């Protein structure tokens, strides 16, 4: 029972980290779109005063996974997003729920929606700033910014209303999905 309670606490914390996505075509320039790429990346999540780290994988539109390395309360929690379902696992315990059962503020859902919606566009629309390209948009949960590199690949995602920042590090791109 104690193990099940601990799993429930870890899972709730993971969902809180994973909670908000509709691109807005504002901005003054267009840019190469490299968002439709499969990748694996080390990632840092910051929401208000909490920081978590892990590995983020995008295999295709709507097919994502995250595994947390830190903090200790989330270490080992893995969540897979595919076909409208979310599967969570921790130390051998597993369960699945529909994505619609997650809170609308789930940061992973917001990241997924923002990236996947923008990945469908031929070119990204936004502004160049300090060597990066910033795409601004609005989701049901509020405004966001996607920051891309010179090839249009994801570098970070921010939702200022939630004091949320997701930053990718050491990203490995496996393929451009639109060429499959």
- In the chain the domains, ranked by start, together with CATH numbers, are 2-179 (2.50.20)
Q: Which of 145, 162, 146, 135 is nearest to 27 (CA)?
A: 135
Q: What is the pLDDT of residue 37?
A: 93
Edge-to-edge strand order for the sheet containing 29-32?
Answer: 29-32, 123-129, 132-139, 142-148, 154-159, 164-176, 37-47, 50-60, 63-70, 78-82, 85-90, 93-98
Q: Which of 65, 59, 46, 52 is nearest to 156 (CA)?
A: 46
Residue 94: CB atoms within 10 Å = 12
Alpha-carbon torsion 108, 159, 75, 149, what sign? Answer: positive
Q: 33-65 pLDDT, tens per residue?
A: 999 999 999 999 999 889 999 999 999 999 999
Is the predicted pLDDT of residue 26 greater than 50, yes or no? no
Q: What is the pLDDT of residue 45?
A: 94
Q: 59-108 pLDDT, tens per residue?
A: 999 999 999 999 999 999 999 999 999 999 999 999 999 988 888 668 89
Q: 106-132 pLDDT, tens per residue?
A: 889 999 999 999 999 999 999 998 889
Is the predicted pLDDT of residue 149 greater than 60, yes or no? yes
């Amino acid at each position: 029972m104690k193990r099940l309670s601990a799993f429930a606490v870890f899972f709730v914390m993971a969902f809180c980290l994973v909670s908000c996505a509709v691109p807005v075509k504002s901005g003054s320039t267009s840019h190469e779109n490299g968002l439709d790429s499969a990748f694996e990346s080390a990632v840092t999540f910051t929401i208000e005063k909490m920081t978590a780290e892990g590995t983020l994988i995008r295999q295709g539109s709507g097919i994502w996974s995250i595994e947390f390395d830190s903090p200790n309360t989330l270490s080992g929690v893995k969540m897979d997003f595919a076909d409208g379902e979310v599967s969570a696992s921790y130390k051998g315990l597993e369960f699945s729920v529909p994505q619609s059962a997650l809170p609308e503020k789930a940061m992973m859902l917001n990241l997924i929606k923002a990236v996947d919606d923008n990945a469908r566009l031929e070119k990204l629309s936004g502004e160049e700033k300090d060597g990066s390209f910033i795409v601004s948009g609005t989701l049901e949960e509020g405004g966001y910014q996607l920051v891309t590199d010179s090839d249009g690949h994801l570098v970070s995602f921010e939702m200022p209303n939630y004091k949320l920042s997701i930053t990718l590090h050491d990203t490995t791109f496996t393929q451009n999905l639109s060429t499959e």
